[in-house]
Amino acid sequence: MTDQSLVPERLEKADLDTAYKVLKEKYPDAVRDDTRTGYSGVIVDKNRLVDVAKTIRDELGFNYLSHATAVDYLGLGDHLEMVYYAYRISGGPGLVFKTQTDREKAEVPSLVSIWPGADFQEREAYDLYGIRFSGHPNLKRILLWEGFNGHPMRKDWKEPYYEQEHKPFDSRWPKGYVRRAEELNPYGKNVQYPADIDLSRLNDISEESIYSGMGLGVDIQELTTSDGIRTDRLVVNLGPHHPSTHGVFRMVVTLNGETVETLEPVMGYLHRNHEQIGERNAWIHNIPFTDRLDYISGMGNNHGYVLAVENLLATGARYQPPTYRAEVIRVLMVELNRIVNHLWAIGFLLNDLGAFFTPSLYAIAEREKILDFFEATSGARMMFNYMRFGGLAKDLPEYIRSTANLVNDQIRDFNTMEYLTDLINERLPRAIDELDTYLTESEVMTSRTIGVGYLPPEMAIAYSCSGPLLRASGVPYDVRRADPYSIYPELDFDVAVRYNGDIYDRYLVRIDEMRESIRILKQILPRLERTKGEPIFAGNKAYMPRVPVGESYGRVENPKGELGFYVVSAGDEKGTQNPWRYHVRAPSFINLTPLGQMCQGHKVADIVAVLGSIDIVLGETDR
Amino acid sequence: MTDLDLRELQGTEFPVPADLQGNVAITSLSKIYNWSRKNSVWPMLFGLACCAIEMIATAASRYDLSRFGMEVMRASPRQADLMIVSGTVTKKMVVPIVRLYNQMPEPKYVLAMGACASGGGPFKEGYNVVSGIDKYLPVDVYAPGCPPTPQALLFALIALHRKIDGQSLANMDDVPWYGVGPSDPTPIPILGPDIIDPRQMDIIRRQAELAAAGLPYGKREVPDLVLTAGAASTSAPRTAAEKAADKVASAPAAAAADDPEKAARLAKREAALARKRARQQQQSE
């Protein structure tokens, strides 16, 4: 049942100011205001960071650390900065606190003891920025491999195919010359080696460090349990090529017989440098890249990013917020995308439970109908590139023309509104009911999932979990309600919540959420009719908008959890055309933090089910 | 393939009596062999990134991969004929991919699905991204798109079928796996300070020697014909030492003077680039 402290109690802006004041009064010499233009929050002396964080969590009640990331201010103060956003689980705006450290000997105390959810995020900052976190229990590289040369997100680190700081590159525009990057590299590949490379002593230590972290010198060890049963303790590797790991995810597991003792996620097999490329790109270039984060729900990613940048743009002059129709269509897209994602997640959860591919076939069938609509609107089935700062790329088409609508060998055109009405009122509810009927009582489902992978609510909050994972543990935290954006305040919906915190409840939360999405979509339909013909874009379209200086954190409730974009614009007073920092708070990444604890004591086959219930996408986990 | 139409297989000039047509087929060994194996190409159950989702959609009921005898996706490389490289190949991931490829039995095929697997795609410039799986493995078919739609993937698979169809058993170049002895495995890359392809050891050693001597390294010795003004430095390790060394061996032509072969190659290349530029200019006019 819900804890008393979890009962919603809305936080107001004035409250936040009081919180900052309390902090400054309690630590007058360690906490100061962040007075840079466009920035908010406080800067904490790193020596007192742990104390301040404890106050923030225990006394001020900001018990949910949403994200922690590093920024390199090379040339702008020459320091590295850790940025933390803490929220109250009951909702409201977040408390921002930062700490600064020297670039050469970068060291910051770890906050894992306060918020265990900082674990992977600090490892990421160590990996990409080279900040050492004193007191971190397992500080090693997470996205790259042990032995990699340098810390690539630092502003003075240049990638092998480096051409220029910012796009568009001079060679491409306006000159228009294109040259293959391989031609400029003597190796013909995307590699560069340090000047002092010692080729006689090349050994791959990346694997060694993974297994040595498991606390075992040997692969197999004989054990005798208390009741005299002889068994083996062994280290088993799952992934990165494994049929059930939802992509290139890898886990190293220590088993006692068939029971999981420890589990360590190993990731980075799809680390495609989203953030670093994002910092070379112009602001608008990043929109299509966000589609490729959580590639099952691209619309939500678009939405999060445009929200973050719109927050910044709003501080400047001549900014017009998106029109009402644009907001309506955004919510339409995002909610349809939520259904797509949950259908997919449920289908593949059943895959993991052993009902191989048949439930998925049923789930994917309706997904295709939604994708047809997306394709007709945005031009692509998965990579939509649909939202813009201040509006949308296109309005809805009048007709959906698609070869996919082959019925009786005839190509049919569908009127978009009729298609949507039919989809939302008839087909999707029917599909959800069908899944519900077939799966909820199914033996395959219940016997494998009830009571497995339990995550208590306190732990879910401490580990910064979000999305269905958090809500299945009895915490009614949904960004759409806790920190509303777009037109969600005027829409009538409930936050789906279940209380048992096991795989079965995570499945049920997804079913509930799809039903809530249908409820929202039914309210969207009349709004779409009403706003027909209204503009979808406010103001003039700008390809290279100048974004005012400052920082911004935009977050949305994506199907997988809280998706946040932390962007920093650092330029002259006119603003910049490129982000200085572009960070993605990826729900799939942070939701994996408690995976080890959730699997402990279960059988090896349950690992796969627990992983499936978290619903990760590697594009977002590794970025 | 329940309705077997034997006429499809008829491949020789041998006259089949009219009453036996439809019951007897006379064909070449290559043809029947290729016909049977192209209709049972088993792909490896192996997804990398976004393209994997479209691959799954292709296998699902709407696009129905099983029409081509390919629905049997095998998780084990030892049972697979085709590796669909469906997504961005990262440096960290290319090591297991090469391992998996080596474990596949011959004949084996590789399909680079999407822009990333074909050439790095939108993530090409990323420091952890391999610019195309063909830098490490031989690719049979490239499917463009980001991601390719299921239709595009089906088209690529049909292209692969055509390729298999054209491989004659009589020609050893087509079917090298029937040659003597097992084929050599692809060397597994090493994760050092950056990924190291053992096949490139010589060139890496040469560059390391240049670096040790304080000479410019990590930059290709071709004249910077196109990128003159504007884009200044192109590669990271441009240090003061390198600039000093530039004065010593500045013009690449001079560096190549003692190697006539290289000079000829450079001249040829220069001419090609000049032609290309002229063509570009013509187009722009």
Is A179 in contact with B227 (Cβ distance < 8 A)?
yes
List the single best residue of B53, B65, B71, B92 to mutate versus A (max A Cβ within 10 A): B92
- A454 near B CB under 8 A: no
Chain A CB contacts of B125 under 8 Å are 159, 161-163, 181, 190, 273, 277, 280
> Considering just the CA atoms, what is the radius of gyration of chain A in Å?
25
Instruction: Give mean pLDDT, residues A494-523.
Output: 92
Each residue's pLDDT, cut to its tens digit, for chain B (285 residues) gives 445 566 666 666 667 777 777 777 778 888 888 888 888 889 988 888 889 899 988 988 888 888 888 888 888 889 998 999 998 999 999 999 999 999 998 888 999 999 999 988 889 888 999 998 999 999 999 999 988 999 899 999 999 999 998 888 888 778 888 777 777 888 888 888 888 888 888 888 888 888 888 877 777 655 554 444 444 444 444 455 554 444 444 444 444 456 777 777 778 878 888 887 888 777 766
Residue A425 is given by DSSP the state I
Instruction: Give the per-residue pLDDT at A301.
Output: 92
CA distance A496 to A478: 9
Nearest to A176 by CA among B113, B284, B36, B25: B284
Q: Is the pLDDT score of A232 beyond 90?
A: no
Nearest to A257 by CA among A23, A616, A533, A603: A603
Q: Is the pLDDT score of A82 beyond 80?
A: yes
Domains of chain A: 4-134 (3.30.460.80), 274-622 (1.10.645.10)
- B199 near A CB under 8 A: no
At position A255, the amino acid (one-letter code) is L
CA distance A98 to A79: 12
User: Which residues 291-320 of A have a C-beta within 8 angstroms of B?
Assistant: 292, 295-296
Mode of pairing for the β-strands spanning A399-401 and A95-102: unpaired
Tokens of A229: 């049963």
Is A193 in contact with B194 (Cβ distance < 8 A)?
yes
Q: How far apart are the two ends of chain B, measured CA to CA in Å?
A: 56
CA distance A538 to A529: 19
User: Omega of the bond prior to A489 within 30 degrees of 0, cis?
Assistant: no
**Cα B234–Cα A129–Cα A271 angle in degrees, nearest 5:** 75
Is B52 in contact with A271 (Cβ distance < 8 A)?
no
Q: Is the pLDDT score of A607 beyond 80?
A: yes
What are the residues whose beta carbons fall under 8 Å from the beta carbon of A93, sequence distance 6 or more?
A: A11, A13, A16, A87, A483
Instruction: Give the per-residue pLDDT at B269.
Output: 78
The residue with greater pLDDT, A192 or A14, is A192
Instruction: Give the per-residue pLDDT at A329.
Output: 93
CA distance A79 to A73: 5
pLDDT in tens, A24-74: 888 888 888 888 888 888 999 888 889 888 888 888 888 899 889 999 988
- CB–CB of A202/B196 below 8 Å? yes
What are the residues whose beta carbons fall under 8 Å from the beta carbon of A591, sequence distance 6 or more?
A: A465, A466, A467, A469, A560, A561, A614, A616
Across A197-201, A353-357, A491-495, B42-46, least confident range: A197-201
Chain B CB contacts of A187 under 8 Å are 197, 200, 203-204, 207
Mark out the alpha helices in B126-259 (DSSP H runs).
150-165, 201-212, 240-248, 252-255
Q: Is the pLDDT score of A7 beyond 80?
A: no
CA distance A610 to B101: 30
Is B205 in contact with A199 (Cβ distance < 8 A)?
yes
Shortest distance between the Cα of B10 and any Cα of chain A, in A, equals: 32
- A158 near B CB under 8 A: yes
- A152 near B CB under 8 A: yes
Nearest to B57 by CA among A451, A205, A480, A372: A372
CATH architecture of B50-178: 3-Layer(aba) Sandwich (3.40)
CA distance A99 to A85: 12
Nearest to A589 by CA among A136, A119, A111: A119
Q: Is the pLDDT score of A396 beyond 60?
A: yes
Tokens of B205: 């050693």
- CB–CB of A245/A595 below 8 Å? no
pLDDT in tens, A235-278: 888 878 887 767 788 888 888 888 888 888 888 899 999 899 99
Shortest distance between the Cα of B285 and any Cα of chain A, in A, equals: 13
Chain A CB contacts of B114 under 8 Å are none
pLDDT band at A328 (very low <50, low <70, confident <90, very high): very high
Instruction: Give mean pLDDT, residues A363-369.
Output: 87
Q: What single string gives the DSSP state of each residue in A264-328? A: EEE--TT---HHHHHHHS-GGGHHHHHHTTSTT-HHHHHHHHHHHHHHHHTTSSS--PPPHHHHH
- CB–CB of A215/A262 below 8 Å? yes
- B75 near A CB under 8 A: yes
Is A193 in contact with B46 (Cβ distance < 8 A)?
no
pLDDT band at A331 (very low <50, low <70, confident <90, very high): very high
- CB–CB of B48/A247 below 8 Å? yes
Instruction: Give the per-residue pLDDT at B240.
Output: 52
Strands (E), B89-171: 109-113, 141-143
Instruction: Give the per-residue pLDDT at B26.
Output: 76
Instruction: Give mean pLDDT, residues A341-368.
Output: 87
pLDDT band at A605 (very low <50, low <70, confident <90, very high): confident
Is B237 in contact with A619 (Cβ distance < 8 A)?
no
Domain positions in chain B are 6-38, 50-178, 197-284
Shortest distance between the Cα of A429 and any Cα of chain B, in A, equals: 20
At position A300, the amino acid (one-letter code) is G
